[in-house]
Chain A
Amino acid sequence: MSHALSRHDTRAPGRYLGLAGGVLVAMTVVFLLLAVGPLLGLFLYTPLPHALRGMLMEEAWQALLLTLWTSAIAVALAVVLGLPAAICLARVDFRGRVLVNALIELPIALPPLVLGVALILVWGRQGLLGHFLSDAGHPLSFTPLAVVAAQFVVASPFFVRIAKAAIEQVPVSLEEASITLGRSLPATLALVTLPLAGRGLLGALITCWARAMGEFGATILFAGSFPGRTQTAPTAIFNLMQNDVESAVGLALIMLAFSALAFVVAQMGARRLTTAGGMP
């Protein structure tokens, strides 16, 4: 039998066999080598003692902890504010929908440095709106909240975009069925739509968080790079690169480890969501 597809388990998606499968695997290996390969260089570049010294530096852990809590808040904001927007764009037909969609995607197309300049001009101490905050004694720039703001502006569009796509994948007929059976729209959203979109939503969350953790350009412009105060792991790595490349690599390796941890946890979570009886 020379079927390219195998369907031992009719509930599972088809699996590609033979030549087609082999070619795809080979192409994946090429992609890995080019896209992920340079990361391997990090491990090979620096001797272990130097890297460990970099990893154990207090500044490194200060920066990492700051990055973790600021990105957590930024992502929480992105979800709270972005999920309704994603649902709206996926389900509500309103005038200007195309425009709003484009506007939300706009920050993704811009270099974060541009977003940083925009933040300074609008929310900086002399900014359009920021000067009100400044006059009231609560300036935003060069504070940890500025870090959160920079991360939010850069990363939240990713959440909205992916969440919207995930919700669009859920068949409207299922929602209609739920409503026909008596559930209200909010209950349908909560009990039918969002769980079914669960895997995609988790992907949106992880992507958004990864983007927030790695944010550099907007952060360094709007929040500066003050160790212990606004220096995140990416700006710390940049700072260390100035005269201590080995320690910079050490910190980079820690970020790698944390990101790997996050993705593994996400994968395990996604697997659980899928086997909980939802659609594959």
Chain B
Amino acid sequence: MRHLVAIAAIAVPLALLLATGCRQAPGVPPAAAPASPAPQAPRERLTVFAGAASKPALEELARIYGEKHGAVVDITFGGSGSMLTQFSQEHYGDLYVPGSDDFMDKAEAKEAVLKDTRTPLVYLVPTLGVAKGNPKHIKGLADLSRPDVRVVVGEPKSVCLGAIARDALQAEGIWDEVAPRVASYATSCENVLQVLLLGEADVIIGWDVFARQHPDKVESVPLPAKYSRPRNIPAAVIKWSTQPEAARALIEFLAGPEARPVWQKHGYTTGSSTGAAKPGP
């Protein structure tokens, strides 16, 4: 019996390892350029610090850009505030793609990015997020004060959605009521979504893309226009980048026509802030 457990514990991981063994060697720094006609220059490596709000599209776009230019785009995701602290403390990185302009403003105030490279990529609209079917019948911000409603918002100091939530609730005059009852403060924009997906909250203050990315699980309840001003996902070159030209080129790609269909596929709104280009299905 003991031996059976031992054999199973060895055999199962081994089998899985062998099943994926044919893939390219993982975890090793790229020694050679890919088979495509690669430039003579050594492979470019760009480092991106990104807020989690743009994750699904940015990952795909980084891959596309990398294949196209024989470059490697390394992205680390997290709360926009934590990302800002990390790269400005370490004086390291090429691109900053926070979840909102508020954090880009902070980055500019800290002189951590090159102001003239700041470019809006796509737009997000804040809305209330509820489980599909809206079981608690949430209709607006006032419902957040109900005792039977579990509310989760982002951490106001480090997550853009958190700051938006706080500002909206303060303007409605119910922040002091709701804040102590908030079930938890999410650590990033995607964490806000995650909490709703896991059923830890009845309502979140999140982005419109959440419902588009998870149409079977999430529904949006619109906020009044004064609270649902579209927010940019901006990008800028980090001041301490050792490859500012390459970084600028990446931003141009992310903001450009080739990237647009990828953003839209993931539910983001491209174009002007009046929503000229609607997201795809």
Contacts and interface: CB of A to CB of B under 8 A. Distances in A.
Interface of A: 55-56, 58, 61-63, 65-66, 69, 120, 124-126, 139, 141-142, 220-221, 224-229, 239, 241-243, 245, 254, 257-258, 260-261, 264-265, 268
11 contacts: A56-B19, A58-B24, A61-B17, A242-B194, A245-B197, A245-B198, A257-B13, A258-B13, A261-B13, A264-B5, A264-B9
B77 interface: yes
Given A126-B89, A139-B92, A243-B190, 11 more contacts: A58-B24, A58-B26, A61-B20, A124-B89, A126-B90, A226-B47, A226-B75, A228-B74, A243-B213, A257-B16, A260-B9
Contacts of A124: 89-90
Interface string B72-106: 00111110000000100111100000000000000
B26 A61 contact: yes
A55 B16 CA distance: 8
A3 B56 CA distance: 66
A120 B87 CA distance: 11
Contacts of B24: 58
Nearest to B188: A242
Contacts, number: 89
A125 B91 CA distance: 7
Contacts of B90: 120, 124-126, 141-142
B90 to A, nearest CB: 5
Given A125-B91, A141-B92, A261 B9 contact: yes
B32 interface: no
Contacts of B41: none
B130 interface: no
Taking residues whose C-beta sits less than 8 angstroms from the other chain, chain B's interface range is 35 or more
Contact of A126 (B26, B78, B91, B194): B91
Pairs of residues from A and B, 9 with the lowest C-beta to C-beta distance, nearest first = A62-B26, A242-B190, A226-B74, A65-B27, A224-B76, A261-B9, A66-B27, A260-B9, A125-B90
A72 to B, nearest CB: 13
A225 B13 contact: no
Given A126-B90, A141-B90, A258-B13, A239 B27 contact: no
Given A65-B26, A260-B9, A226 B190 contact: no
A120 B76 CA distance: 17
B27 A221 contact: no
B191 interface: yes
A62 B28 CA distance: 9
Contact of B47 (A142, A239, A241, A268): A142
A265 B10 CA distance: 9
Interface in B100-126: none
Contacts of A264: 5-6, 9-10
A221 B76 CA distance: 11
Nearest to B240: A125
Given A221-B86, A260-B9, A243 B74 contact: no
A58 B23 contact: yes
Contact of B76 (A56, A62, A66, A225): A225
A224 B56 CA distance: 19
A257 B12 CA distance: 8
Nearest to A230: B76
A66 B26 CA distance: 8
A80 to B, nearest CB: 24
A125 B92 CA distance: 8
Nearest to A224: B76
